[in-house]
Amino acid sequence: MVNHSWYLLLGLLLGGYLLLDGFVIGSSILLRHVGPGERGRRATITAFGPFFLGNEVWLVVTAATLLAVFPLLEGPLFHAHYPLLVALLVAWLIRDGAVWLRSRLGGAGWRGGWDHVLTVASVAFGLLWGLLLGNLASGGVGRDTVWLPFGWYPLLWAVTVASVFAVHGAVFLAVRLPPDLSGAPSRWVVRLAAPIAALYAVVIVVGVATQALPHGDGLPVWAGVTGLLAVLGLLAAGRLVTVRPKAALACTAVAVSAPVILVGARLWPVAEHALAGASSLSVLGRFLVVVIPVVLLIQGWTWMVFLRRMDGRTTVFF
């Protein structure tokens, strides 16, 4: 039972990161498709600016929890996938650097160049997350390093996850942007939600049919739950975005974080025997009892203050 509690915490932290930083990734993917010229791009960055650094805290806490709580899982996981993890880190740093640097100078060429860097890095970031999740969902962790993690099934995951990030970001922009700019992302959601939901369903069905998921571990059931949540979330978002955009954002949040269920079920046989010792967990538990409520309070305050439509009084970040 203790193992399950720590594992559930790890899954909640990773799912929280994906749904929070997911809308930053998606907004950045759509940076040049929101509105006309500099105003649309400036508004897009201002929209996610207040959430940017706070969202990344979740990834740091997730990684720290994995290293401290499941040290025997961290080794095989990092050993098998460290080329992907290094690529993820590089894309993450370039994405963040582009956000910080694009407005340091006022020239149109400077800003336009960093806008391209931000878009490309965000697309790569989303695809790499999909590759990692796809490799974990199809193979878990093994003894050998996966130097070329580009099998057809992980690539299908990569396209799907990046597309879901884009829809999630579009819904977020529909919530945050002023009325004259929010129409474009809303139309993207209405146009793309159903096709991406269908793509998600294909990924799950094809995975169950071809990836030899062990029935004894219940993985096909967890795959079905993952797919159902994602498909329903995307379809609901397509219907709600023009009338209740915040409800649509909650729906795409479910779709973005749903893969954690399948990956968690896939890795459980290893994680079950990878828990740290009781003394280490006791120390970590006292630490997390303080840290996690603080993170939740700050995150809740940020959302309460800033998750509203922008206007002329909105603070500009970055």
Ranges of each domain in the chain: 2-306
Indicate whether 167 pLDDT > 60.
yes
**Across 118-255, where does the E strand assignment appear?**
none
- Least confident window among 164-168, 251-255, 276-280: 276-280
CA dist list (Å): 150 to 28, 146, 206: 24, 9, 16
Mean pLDDT of the 293-318 span: 86
Highest mean pLDDT among 74-78, 264-268, 288-292: 264-268
**pLDDT given at position 271:** 85
Report the C-alpha gap between 86 and 247 in whole angstroms.
Answer: 35
**pLDDT given at position 174:** 96
Report the C-alpha gap between 169 and 182 in whole angstroms.
Answer: 12
> Under CATH, to which class is 2-306 assigned?
mainly alpha
pLDDT per residue as tens digits for the range 57-116: 888 888 888 888 888 887 788 888 888 899 999 999 999 999 999 988 878 889 889 999
**pLDDT given at position 162:** 97
- Does 113 or 144 have the greater pLDDT score? 113
CA dist list (Å): 194 to 11, 45, 123, 177, 197: 27, 27, 21, 23, 5
Report the C-alpha gap between 32 and 305 in whole angstroms.
Answer: 27
Entry pTM:
0.93
**pLDDT given at position 238:** 96
- Least confident window among 40-49, 75-84, 108-117, 200-209: 75-84
Report residue 33 as tokens.
Answer: 């498709």
Indicate whether 145 pLDDT > 70.
no
SS3 content of the chain, % helix, strand, coil (to 5): 85, 0, 15
- Least confident window among 7-16, 132-141, 236-245, 254-263: 132-141
pLDDT per residue as tens digits for the range 24-40: 999 999 998 887 788 89
